Amino acid sequence: MPPVPNETSNLLAGGGTRQSGGLVSFEPQDIENLLSLNPKIKPYANAVPSAVTKKVKKHWKRNEDKSENLKCNTCSPLYNNFDDIKHTTLSERGALREAARCLKCADAPCQKSCPTQLDVKSFIGSIATKNYYGAAKAILSDNPLGLTCGMVCPTSDLCVGGCNLAATEEGAINIGGLQHFAVDMFKQMKISQVLPPDVPNPLPEAFKSKIALLGCGPASISAATFLGRLGYADITIYEKADYLGGLNTSELPAYRLPYDVINFELDLMKDLGVKIETGRALSTEDLTVEKLQKDGFATVFIGIGNPEAKTIPMFNGLTEEQGYFTSKSFLPQVARASKPGMCACKTQKLPELFGTVIVLGAGDTAFDCATSALRCGAKRVFVVFRKGFINIRAVPEEAELAKQEKCEFVPFLSPQEVVMKHGRIAALKFFRTEQDDEGRWIEDAEQPTKLKCDFVISAFGSGLYDAKVKNAMAPLKMTRWGTPEVDVTTMETSEPGVFCGGDLAGVAETAVEAVNDGKIAAWSIHRYIQKKFNVTVPSTPQLPKFYTDIDNVDISVDVCGIKFPNPYGLASAPPATTCGMIRRAFEAGWGFAVTKTFGLDKDIVTNVAPRIVRGTTSGHIYGPGQGAFLNIELISEKTAAYWCQGVTELKTDFPSHVVIASVMASYCKEDWQELVIMAQDAGSDGIELNLSCPHGMGERGMGLACGQDPDMVRNICTWVREVCTIPFFAKMTPNVTNIVSIAKAAKEGGADGVTAINTVSGLMGLNMKGVAWPAVGKEKKTTYGGVSGNAVKPMALKAVSAIAKALPGFPILATGGIDSADVTMQFLLAGASTMQVSSAIQNQDFTVIEDYITGLKALLYLSSIEGLEDWDGQSPPTARTQKGKPVVSVQNIIGKNLPNFGPYAKEKATVVAEEKKKMQNLLETEESSLEQNRPANKLKSLPPKVAEVIGKALDKIGTYSDLDNREHVVALIDPEMCINCGKCYMTCNDTGYQAIEFDPETHLPRVKNDSCTGCTLCYSVCPIIECIQMVPRSGLYEPKRGVALSSDWQPRLPDMQLRKKMDNAVVQ
C-alpha cells in the first residue's frame, strides 16, 4: 500500500525535515504538492504586470476572444454542424435553478403576453418541484405544440417581455428554455394522450361529423388536437407535401427545431384518432372547399400558410445554378438534408454554397438563412437590409445568434441590380436608403454601393399568388391582398362552416400565434357543428385540457375509516385562518383541512404583530421560495362557536371533503371534553388535539406544556376518548428528547393516530444591533417562535419514520416541510398517510394543490412503467451535458479529454469541425437517428395505491450498527461534464481526505482512489448533477490510522469494530 498522509517524511514549516514516525501535525510532501492550488489567505495585494495577464487570460477564456475577431475569418467551422445552438436550452440542473427564481406573480403578465395564454407560473412552479409531468400538462393543455414553441418562440417579444423580474438586476426568467425542458422531459416518458374523462360515451351524432383541415402546419395541428379532445371522431388533415409540420418542418433549421420534436407533437395528435393524408393539396386540380362540402364534411379549416416567396423583378429568371435562392427554396433543401425522419428520403445533399453569400431581409427567416448558409459551406455571410439596426424585424435572440456566428450586418441598402459574370451572380448593386423627416424611407441614387458575392438568398416574406389555390377557396370572399376575409376573433370566413387560421388569416406571424388561431377555430367549429344539432354552446371557449392515463390514477386514501379524496390538506396554520379560506382551498382541490386551533372562550387570544417572518436557513433569499418561516402566532382569535358553525357549513357544501377540527385546552378534563363534543356535534370528520404549540400557549399551561409529558398526553387522550366517537389525532411536538414515547402515550390513551410534527422552537436571527425579528412594540422584544418549512423536513421525516417503526400501522398525519409531490412520496415511504401543508402555501397560494396532485399521480404511474426502472421519480438518468447541450466528446477521436475553455475549447471545436466535414450523409448518423415516440411505454403492473407505498422504506432505515462497513464507494469524476470549478478539490482538502488532484493547466480534477474514503463530500458540493458519481471500491477499504494500532490491540465492541468474513478473510 502506498504511503498515506502523516505517515511519511515531510518538510517542516521552519524548513527542517521530519523523520517518519515523528510529528503528525504537518502534511507530508505529496499532500503539500497536492495542496498547491488550494485557496490561501493572501498576505499582500496581488501584483501581476498587465502584459502577463493579457497572455494568461487567453488560457482561461470561456467567452469569445475579441482579439481573435481581428484575424482572418474565412473558415467555416459550422459546415455540416446542425447541433443545438439555442442559448435557452437547459439541463435539469439549469431548469431547477431557473424555475426557483420565478415569482409566480398574481395576474401574471407573462401569461397575458402569450398568444395561447399559457399558465406560465403554474408550469414553472411544477418544474421547481420536479413535477415535470405537471409542467408539461399545463403547457400542452393550452398549446398542443408546446415543445416546438418552447424551442422557437420569440419569447423576448412575448412572455419574457412581460416578466416582472425584468425590473430586477437578475433579469427575466428564461421561460422558453423552461417550457422546452418540461415538455422534453414528458416526451422521454413516452406516454400517450387520451380523451378527457368528460367526453360523452357513446358519442352523440354531432361528434361523428366529418371535419377537414387543409395543411398540416401549426394551426391545423392545434385545431385538430382540440377538436379531438372535445370528442370529434372523424377528423382528417390533408397535406400537399410528403412531410408534415408545415413551415416548422421545412423552414426552421434543425439546430433550432429537430424533426423528432414535430413528430412527437404529431403523435400526441394522432393518439386522439386524427387522420392525415399527404399528397393532397388545396387546388382546383385536387381538393376545393366546395368539393369537400359536397363530400359531406361539416366544416373545413384552411391552414395552408403563405406558400410562395415574395420576390422583386430584378431576380426574375435567376436559378439556383446561377447562385440565387429564395428562403422558400433554400431552407426546405437544408431541412431535408439535415432533419432525419422529415421525409422518406435516405440521402439528401445540402445546398452546396461557397465564398460569399448575401442574404436580403431582416426578419427571423433571413437570419435562419444566414446561419444555415454557414453550415452549407459559405465562408462569409452578409445580411443586408433596407433599414437600420434599430429597425431589424427579427427578435433580438435571432439577430444575436447570427452575430455570434460571424455573420456581418449591412444596413441602409436597397438592392437595384444583379451583376452577372460567366453566367453566375458576381455582385449586387445597391442604393443607400435614408429616412426623411416624415418617416418615409427613400433610396438615394447618389449613394450607390456594390457588394461582390457568389450567392444571394432573398428573404422578403411570403404570400399566396397561385390562382389554382385561390380559386379552390370559392365561394370565400377575398381581401384586396388576395387572402380570405376572416373574423379574427372566431377565425370564421365569409362562408358558413369554413374557417381559416395561421399565416393565411393575416394575424399570425409566429408559430405560437398560428397555434392559437387553430385553438380559437376549434371552439368556433365546435359551436357551428353543435348548433346544427340544436345544441347551444357558450361563446366563451371551454376547451378540454391535456389528459393521459396518469390523470386517472387514484390517490385517495383511507385513514381510520375516513376516506380522503387525496392526501393533501391545510395544516392548522395561517392558510386555515378562516372558514372562507378553507372553502376556497376545497374549491381549488385540497382534499382536507385542519381548522386553525380554537379553544374555549375563556382561553381566547389576541396576537402580537409582527409575528410571521421569513427564515434565513437558505441564505439571503427574498420573495417566495423561502426555505423556512418563523412565527409567534397563537391559536385562532376566533371563537369556538365560529369554527363549529363553519365546520357545519363546509361539510354541508363539501360532503366528500374531510374537515378535522383542531382544539386546545389546558390540562383540564372538562375543558377538553367540552371542546371535543362541540367539534364533534358540528359535523367534523375528525379531531386534532393540539398538544404542541411551541410558543405563547405553553406559558398558559396549554400546547407543548401538555405535549412534552407522556403522562399528560396519555391522560388527555383518555379523557377525549371517553366522549369522542370519531377519530382523533394527537399533534406531536418535536421539542422533546424522544417523540416516540409521546406517540406511544397518545396511542395508549386511545388516540387513533398522531400528527407529526408541529413547528420547531427556535430563534431565527439577530441584526447587528442585537434585535431579533420579529420585534414587537417599542421595546423591540421577541420570543422563541416556531420554525416551519423545508428547513424542518429532516426532523419531520425522522419523527414520522421513528413513530412508524415503533408503532406499525398507527396512522400518522405528516406535516413539516411538505412542498411537493416529491417530498410527499418521501413521507409516504417513511410511514405517513396524509400530508398537512402550510409554509408552501405561504410561499405561493392554494393553487399549488394542482401541482401536488398531478405530481403524485405521475410518481405512482411512472413507478409501474416498464423501461423506466432507472428513473428517479420524474427524473431520467442524468444526461451528460454542458450548458444544456449534449457533451461533445473527443476522447475517441484524439485519445484524451479536453476542458471547455481557452486553447482546449478551440482545439475541441477544430476536432469537431473536422469530423463534421467528413460526414457524407447527415440523415444516417448515429446521433441523428429519429427517436420513435410510439408505441408508448406500457405498464408492467397497475399503479400502486397510496396505501400501498406507506412505510415501504422503513426497512431501509435503522441503527448505525446495521450499516455494512465493508461495502465502500469512491468518487468518479466525469471530466467532460466538469466545469473546472475545483469545488470538489477544495472540500476534499480542507474538510476531507486530500484525495483529489487538480491539474494546474486544465483544471481537471482527478480522484486518487487509494486516498479516497468515499465520504461523498465532493459529490455533495459539485454544482453539476452527476458530474461526480460514487462507484463501488475495488477491494476493501483500509483506514489510515495515522499512528498504527499496537500489536496487542483488542476491540471493545468486536461485533461493531471488526469486519465480518469476506472472501474467506477476516480484516480489522
- Give me 269's grid cell: 395528435
Q: What is the pLDDT of residues 33-87, one digit of tens each?
A: 999 999 999 999 999 999 999 999 999 999 887 777 666 555 568 999 999 989 8
**Per-residue model confidence as pLDDT tens digits over 489-504:** 999 999 999 999 999 9
All 3 cell numbers of residue 513?
400565434
Which residues touch 836 (CB under 8 Å, ≥6 apart)? 569, 570, 571, 572, 594, 755, 813, 814, 815, 818
Nearest to 759 by CA among 858, 631, 672: 631
Q: Does residue 123 carry a pLDDT above 50?
A: yes
Q: Report the catalytic residues.
A: 693
Cell matching residue 302: 384552411
Nearest residue to 108 via CA among 149, 150, 160, 157 = 160
Find the farthest-apart pair of alpha carbons in the chain and give their distance in angstroms, rounded.
109
Q: Which of 368, 216, 208 is nearest to 278 (CA)?
A: 216
Least confident range from 298-312, 877-891, 926-940: namely: 926-940
What's the pLDDT score for residue 75?
57
| Coil, helix or strand at residue 457 | strand
Q: Alpha helix locations (H) across 386-510?
A: 396-404, 467-472
Q: What is the dihedral of CA 364, 369, 375, 376, to 10 degrees?
A: 170
Q: Are 650 and 586 in contact (CB under 8 A)?
A: yes
- Binned at pLDDT 50, 70 and 90, residue 1 comes out as very low
Question: Model confidence over 1002-1061: pLDDT tens digits?
Answer: 999 999 999 999 999 999 999 999 999 999 999 888 898 999 999 999 999 888 877 754
Parallel/antiparallel/unpaired status of strands 441-452 and 455-458: unpaired
pLDDT, tens digit, 9 for 90 and up, residues 445-465: 999 999 999 999 999 999 999
Say whether pLDDT at 526 is over 70.
yes
How far is the C-alpha of 859 from the C-alpha of 880, rounded, in Å?
A: 24
* Predicted confidence (pLDDT) at residue 588 exceeds the cutoff of 80: yes
Q: One-letter amino acid identity for 1066?
A: V
Q: How confident is the model at residue 302 (pLDDT cuts 50, 70, 90)?
A: very high
pLDDT at 398 over 80: yes
Judged against a pLDDT cut of 80, whether residue 1062 lies above it is answered with no
CA separation for the pair 693, 786 (Å, rounded): 8
Q: What is the pLDDT of residue 924?
A: 75
Q: What is the mean pLDDT of residues 980-987?
A: 97
Burial of residue 934 (CB within 10 Å: 0-12, 13-18, 19+) is middle
CA proximity to 498, closest of 471, 477, 467: 477
Please state, in angstroms and rounded to a whole number, the distance separating the CA atoms of residues 385 and 1016.
57
- Is 547 within 8 Å of 854 (Cβ atoms)? no
Long-range contacts of 442-451 (CB under 8 A, 24+ apart): 443/414, 443/416, 448/416, 449/413, 450/419, 451/358, 451/382, 451/384, 451/410, 451/427
Tell which residue, 687, 678, 683, has the closest CA to residue 641: 678
Return the percentage of the chain with pLDDT > 70, whole number.
96
- Is residue 1067 scored above 60 in pLDDT? no
For a pLDDT cut of 90, what percent of the chain falls above it? 85
Task: Evaluate if residue 245 carries a pLDDT over 60.
Answer: yes
In this model, does residue 14 exceed pLDDT 60?
no
Question: Is 377 in contact with 337 (CB distance < 8 Å)?
Answer: no
Mind giving me the DSSP string for 331-399?
A: HHHHHHHH-TTSSS-S--PPP---SEEEEE--SHHHHHHHHHHHHTT-SEEEEE-SS-GGG--S-HHHH
Which residue in 512, 529, 485 sits closest to 219, CA to CA? Answer: 512
Residue 823 CA, distance from chain mean position = 17
pLDDT of residue 20: 47
What's the rounded mean pLDDT across residues 629-649? 97
**Mean pLDDT estimate for the chain:** 93
CA atoms of 766 and 777, how far apart (whole Å): 16
The model's pLDDT over 820-855, given as tens digits with 9 standing for 90+, comes to 999 999 999 999 999 999 999 999 999 999 999 999
Stated pTM of the model: 0.94
pLDDT, residue 17, reads 44
Average pLDDT over residues 363-386: 96
Say what the pLDDT of residue 324 is.
Answer: 98
Res. 103: pLDDT tops 70: yes
What confidence tier does 931 reach under pLDDT thresholds 50, 70, 90? confident
| Single-letter amino acid, residue 893 | I
Give per-residue pLDDT as tens, 679-726: 999 999 999 999 999 898 988 999 889 999 999 999 999 999 999 999
C-alpha 117/C-alpha 140 separation (Å) is 11
Task: Summarize the confidence of residues 652-662 as an average pLDDT.
Answer: 98
* 203: pLDDT strictly greater than 90: yes
